[in-house]
Structure 1
Amino acid sequence: MWVKESRNPKFAKGIYVVADVGWRDHTVTSDESLLRPIPSFGDLSLSYALGVLGMPGMTAYFGLLEICQPKEGEVVLVNGAGGAVGSLVGQIAKLKGCKVIAFAGTEEKCRWLREDLKLDFVYNYKKVADQEKAIREAAPDRVDCFFDNVGGEAFTAGLCNMKILGRVSLCGAISIYNAKGEEVKGPYPNMLIISRELKVQGFIVYGWLPKWGDAIKEMIGWIQQCKVQTKETVTEGFENMRAAVYGLFR
C-alpha cells in the first residue's frame, strides 16, 4: 500500500508499505506492528515485496539456511518446488553447492525446474507411483536436508529417506489444510525421527523479521547477478483477489 497521509514519522507520506490489514483499498491504522516499510529494490519490481523479496522469499531463505543449514555437497529435498517458496529453496540450495531433489505438480513446472533452474532431480508427484522409492533412487545415500511444504504422505516419504542427523524444515502442510481431524491419519514416524536423530523444526518466518533487511539485500544481489530467477502470476483488479487466492489451491 502507498501511504497517502501520515502522522507517524516512521511512515512518511509517499512511501510504500506491506500492510497486514486484510483486503482493503484504503485503511487507517495506528498499529505500527501491521505495517512494514518496503526498502528500495533499485530497478526491481515493487511487486517483489509480495514474493521473492517478501514473505515467500524470506520463508525460503530462513527456513533453509537457518534451520537446515545446508553444506556444500549435501542433498536437499524440497516438495512444492514449483511454488513461490519451493522454487527459491531449490535455487538457494544450488547456490550453496547442494544436489537438489524436487517435486512439483505439473509438467510445465517440472520443465522450468529442470531446464531453467537446473535442479538435479525433478519429479511430477502426480505421475510418481511411489515418492519414497523415487527419492531413494535419486539419493541412494539418503537426504541431508528436507524442506517440507506439503505434509501428509509426502512428508513421510521424505522422512524415510533421511540420513542420520538429517535436518527437516517444516514450512507447510498444504496436502492436509482442508482435511477434517479424523481424516488425518498416520503413519506416525516417531521412532524414525528418534532412531536417525533427526532435527525436525516447524517455523513461522516472522520470527526472523529483525534479520529480513540483510536477507533482502543478499536476495537482491542474487537476482541482479542472475543467480536467482522468479516468476510472478499477476491478477488485475481488486475485485479479483478472492479468485486469485483460491487459484493457489487449485
Structure 2
Amino acid sequence: MSEYISPSSGASGQAAATAVAHNARVWNYWLGGKNYYPVDQQVGDHVLGMFPTIAEVARADRAFLSRAVTYLTGRVGIRQFLDIGTGLPTVDNTHEVAQRIAPESRIVYVDNDPTVLVHARALLTSSPEGATDYIDADAHDPETILRGAARTLDFDRPVAVMMLGILNFVLETDKAKSIVEQVMAAVPSGSYLVLTHPTFEVGGEGGAEMMRFWNENATPPITGRDSSQIADFFEGLELVEPGIVPCSRWRPEQSADESENEVAEFGVVGRKP
C-alpha cells in the first residue's frame, strides 16, 4: 500500500478545491476517466490498496446502470428518467442508453459538484426526438430538484428515478428515506426507483476500514447500509426480481461464478404500484 499524505488544511480557493479528494473525481479515476486531480489519484490508489475490489464496484455500478436503463426502456416502456447524483460523464450515460432504444426518451440529470457542472455539456446531447437537461442541485433538496425537473419531465407519466451511489452520502438514514419518499410521492403509478448503495454485508470489515479512511481524507463523507435499511427505501414499492442483490448480480447479461461476480454494493429496482 502506498503511503498517503493528508492535504494541507491551509489551502484556499481553487487550491482548496483540488487539495482534497472528491468522490466524483475519484470515481472517474477508478472508471478509467481523465477528469481528476493528483490528490484524487492518490486517495484512489490508497483506497485500492485497502479494498482492491473498489474499482470492480465502480465498474459494476456503471454496468448496472446500463442494464437497468435497458430493462426499463426496452422491457417496461419507460421514457422519462430523473438521474439524481449523476457524477462525471463517462461511457453509456443514462440518456445514451435510453435513447439508443427509444430516441424520444427524456432525461434530467442532477448533481451539485462544480466539476460535474463544468462537464455537463456532455450530458446535454440528445436525439432530436428526445430531450436532456441538467439541474445544479443537492440531493438534500428534493423540492428544487422536482421543480427543475418539471421543465423537461411530465409528472403525469411514469418516471424512472435513478439514485445510483447517492444516498450513501446522506449519512442520516431517516433523512435519506425522507428524500426518497418526497421524490417518489411526486411521480405517478408505474414509476420506478433505481438504486445502488455500498454495504458491509459483502466485503466485511475491509469495506468499513476503507470508509473510515475516506471520511478522514476525502469528501463528501460516506456510509454503508445493510439490506434491511435498503429495503426501507423501497417501502410501498414492488421490488423487481431478483430484489436486493449485489449490483453485479442484478439481471447479469451472462451467468458468472458468484465468488468472482459479487461486489460490495447493492443494486435494486422497484416499481410504484
* TM-score, structure 1 as length reference: 0.46
* TM-score, structure 2 as length reference: 0.43
| Larger relative contact order (Cα-Cα within 8 Å, sequence gap ≥ 6) | 2
Q: Which has the larger radius of gyration?
A: 1
